[in-house]
Structure 1
């Protein structure tokens, strides 16, 4: 049976252990001081990064943990996972709530608890495929931007000691709506930094995270279906364990309005087809390259008869919003590369112009309330706020691929 964690460290991130262990050990006392005995709210805590964050912070013994997620089944699995893990500390007050953080019932729950010492928000649309038309764009912007502001207004009633909201490497010079929405989100949360400390992190793709292409490889193999992947897209990767650790370090050790990112070199970038090849070899298959999705689907019938030749279709990417290079910061952002062994920090970010953010919020709200608003018009509104937003539109979406 495949040991996925071992596979990720050996073939994807190519490390023997987490790259953040040294920083965690160097700052162990500070982490204990920041977390031990504190009340904690984790939004989107049943997802890949949120659940990894929870596992990173629990050894430092918070007094309570409230987890909110709209995925009821994932919350149940998170609870079973925590309860079944040897020596895992789970606070006496541990409550998983299947609810939307933008709902009235969430506000009731929050006010009942009179806020929390630490609040971490992992609720986000993270896929470029989530921007195919005006309806999917509205859902993305509601979650990543508009509802985030509603949450911040609520937090202002009972200001937390620390607020963390996850960003993405795609927020640096964004070329897709998802990346631009997270870049705007950074400004939105920073505009509240005069009320309570806010921090975020831009990091690489999380290897085999829920819904990711590598996670899809596992499903295709399980179902004996062909694999499709681009051969020309290079990406940085961190392990699921590392994704939670970088968020913990940023949330607890970061200063107000700082953005953390992993120190990764270009030589550590991976292509998706290489991951697929290594995974298939580890599972005992030979790669059978096909010229099209249709050929790969036809050849996959042989898998049902015990064939060890696995059909794949690797092709050049041509879908909207794909960035040719990955970057964590832009040339006009100041960085601190010395304070941490494995982390860089974007520093000296100013409090954004609140009037500009309020105007953007109102323009987006009005546009999305209008049934005749188009995708192009929303992109134009975002571009006016972010002049460096260069939306790449090819007319082709990932949902048209296997």
Structure 2
């Protein structure tokens, strides 16, 4: 331990000595530069104002005294020039301009041999040019001397010879060498930070960009390559260890292509987060790719002033407010300055966590209340409505786990269907303004009990819109990243345990979105609803679960993780749909939100279906309850039917693709 302390002390003393000597060395070099300028312009140059030896001495003392006195006063020699930015050079220019003014004034006032103004200006400017040149050369040698090339080695030698500073390779070799994708404002800013920060663990070796104006040039001594020039060999020659994305606006398709190229080449890929006007209070930092970025789709920000204004000063009740979606709805609503938020949930821990989080964030500025009850408990719900008279009710309470609900069909119907029915009736009874239901893509042509119950809820809501006083809407979206039932946490746990990572079927595809996206969608669509709409989000391209698993394994850096196919779970289908009838869509003011046209059932038809479900649930038999669900939800199909149909469609698509490959321009496809 004492030996380590001695080494640290020795190192500190060496650093202190270097810091102490560097200003003195720089003063010596500045004096040499001045002497060269003085010899050229005061001794060798003979103009009309030829000076005597005494006159030369007088001008040297006068000019040198002004220059170095002002530089000392301006603390020019207290700056660390190896990291010197433009402000350092501006200070040097300013001090020398002041020094020249004093020199000129003193030369006019004092009884010395006179020289012309042009000669005085030339002396000062040549001296300044030399001072700037040696600083730029020093900085260039320090920054670029870390390259493993003959020029880099030469710069190292020159730096050591003239300044006594050890070449930077030993220190730089311990740093992680990175290539920065993007030579724009963000990428260059990152490079500047890495270069100027001695404590940084990274050193930039190259930029990769598409701008023709930048390719082939250097920025801060770092070469800019085109994407076509980037090869595994070239990256290896520059000892690149990691790749950093520094283009916030890069398109998802492009990001995916580059990510896969560098990952397949064996490089770690990171993202440089740079605060923008859209991320208030953001911090700059390097990080791994997030799960959201594995989907390679830009998160959709849908919150706007119109939406904020709608919820302002309103009493909002959120059922399931302690869950993944419900808690995020609370966070989003809190920003909109509602009159009061009532968080209703059967699970007290989740509701408590959200309450404490919002209290810390908003204190007394947010009026918040927690109510613990189930939406199936009609009397408890009625008490909540009677106490608070909510103007807006958002129903995010539901049993969502597909395999569990297959085994607990009666409970799924009680909670999802009858719970929603209770809320609709109480909204009418207590004259709420709006009821918004959180739905799912699994409600479209459902193959499982959970999806079927959600489809039944949609029908209840749409029917209520035809005869009730309340404005109703439902919002349908896909899988939510980070939610309690998401596949992502499962993959993370499996990878952490060393595998294997399990997927039910390697052909499965799903639509994904983030929790903030889903919550913003619900709030914005609810605010724009007129009555009875079933809102659907354009979620872009679906994601193959196998690809997601493979990307997460690559990101983890753990090798040898196996992916095992376990077989489809009860009620699970290979793909999810967002629309019942894809050809029947209406646009909204938001280009990412659509309205599905669907014929609402009458009040009598809904009541008839509810009666069938009541009788089935009263039996307590899950099989009878499932059969009842098939009866009341005509689109409820068996998973084998849908999955078999999908498999056949895929085979037909592959066959068509093969035919297309052999087609020539102007020819029809051959029929085999």
Match of 1:9 among 292, 296, 300: 292
Per-residue deviation, 1:360: 1.4
The C-alpha deviation readout for 1:151-181, integer Å capped at 9, x for no partner, is 2222222121111011111111112121111
Query: Over aligned residue pairs, what C-alpha RMSD do you find?
Result: 2.6
Match of 1:269 among 542, 556, 562: 542
Q: 1:180 to 1:333 in 2, by over 3 A?
A: farther
SS of the counterpart of 1:41? strand
Q: Does the Cα contact within 8 Å between 1:277 and 1:287 map onto a contact in 2?
A: no
Q: 1:346 to 1:369 in 2, by over 3 A?
A: same
SS of the counterpart of 1:341? coil
1:308-347 matches, within 5 Å, as 312-313=563-564, 315=565, 317-331=567-581, 334-337=584-587, 339-347=589-597
Q: Does the Cα contact within 8 Å between 2:433 and 2:471 map onto a contact in 1?
A: yes
- 1:71 and 1:91 map into 2 onto residues whose CA distance is 25
- 1:262 and 1:109 map into 2 onto residues whose CA distance is 32
SS of the counterpart of 1:60? coil
- 1:238 and 1:228 map into 2 onto residues whose CA distance is 21
TM-score (norm: length of structure 2): 0.49
Per-residue deviation, 1:369: 1.1
The C-alpha deviation readout for 1:61-117, integer Å capped at 9, x for no partner, is 1010110111111112212332344xx58754201223222323332222122x211
Match of 1:97 among 371, 374, 395: 371
Q: 1:128 to 1:345 in 2, by over 3 A?
A: same
Of Structure 1 and Structure 2, which has the larger fraction of its residues in helix?
2
Per-residue deviation, 1:126: 1.3
Corresponding residue pairs, total: 354
Match of 1:164 among 433, 436, 441: 436
- 1:224 and 1:196 map into 2 onto residues whose CA distance is 52
Q: Does the Cα contact within 8 Å between 1:69 and 1:99 map onto a contact in 2?
A: yes
SS of the counterpart of 1:164? strand
Q: Does the Cα contact within 8 Å between 2:340 and 2:366 map onto a contact in 1?
A: yes
SS of the counterpart of 2:370? strand
The C-alpha deviation readout for 1:346-401, integer Å capped at 9, x for no partner, is 24x44422212111111111122124x451x333322232322212269xxxxxxx
Match of 1:110 among 385, 394, 398: 385
Larger-gyration structure (1/2): 2
- 1:250 and 1:130 map into 2 onto residues whose CA distance is 30
Question: For residue 387 of structure 1, what is the aligned residue in structure 2?
Answer: 634
Bigger drift between 207-216 and 101-110 goes to 101-110
TM-score (norm: length of structure 1): 0.80
Matched, 1:74 2:366: no
Per-residue deviation, 1:183: 0.8
- 2:479 and 2:622 map into 1 onto residues whose CA distance is 30
- 1:76 and 1:285 map into 2 onto residues whose CA distance is 36
- Structure 2 gap ranges (5+): 1-270, 272-285, 642-672
Match of 1:279 among 525, 542, 552: 552
- 1:232 and 1:184 map into 2 onto residues whose CA distance is 28
Matched, 1:370 2:619: yes
1:1-400 matches, within 5 Å, as 7-12=290-295, 14-16=296-298, 18-19=299-300, 21=301, 23-25=302-304, 28=305, 30-85=306-361, 91-103=365-377, 104-113=379-388, 115-133=389-407, 136-193=408-465, 194-222=468-496, 226-230=500-504, 231-265=506-540, 268-289=541-562, 312-313=563-564, 315=565, 317-331=567-581, 334-337=584-587, 339-347=589-597, 349-371=598-620, 373-375=621-623, 377-392=624-639
Question: For residue 181 of structure 2, what is the aligned residue in structure 1?
Answer: none
Q: 1:393 to 1:235 in 2, by over 3 A?
A: same
The C-alpha deviation readout for 1:274-301, integer Å capped at 9, x for no partner, is 2232223323212432xxxxxxxxxxxx
Q: Does the Cα contact within 8 Å between 2:375 and 2:423 map onto a contact in 1?
A: yes
- 1:158 and 1:94 map into 2 onto residues whose CA distance is 20
Q: Does the Cα contact within 8 Å between 1:173 and 1:389 map onto a contact in 2?
A: yes
Q: Does the Cα contact within 8 Å between 1:131 and 1:137 map onto a contact in 2?
A: yes
Q: Does the Cα contact within 8 Å between 1:55 and 1:244 map onto a contact in 2?
A: no
- Structure 1 gap ranges (5+): 290-311, 395-402
Per-residue deviation, 1:221: 4.3
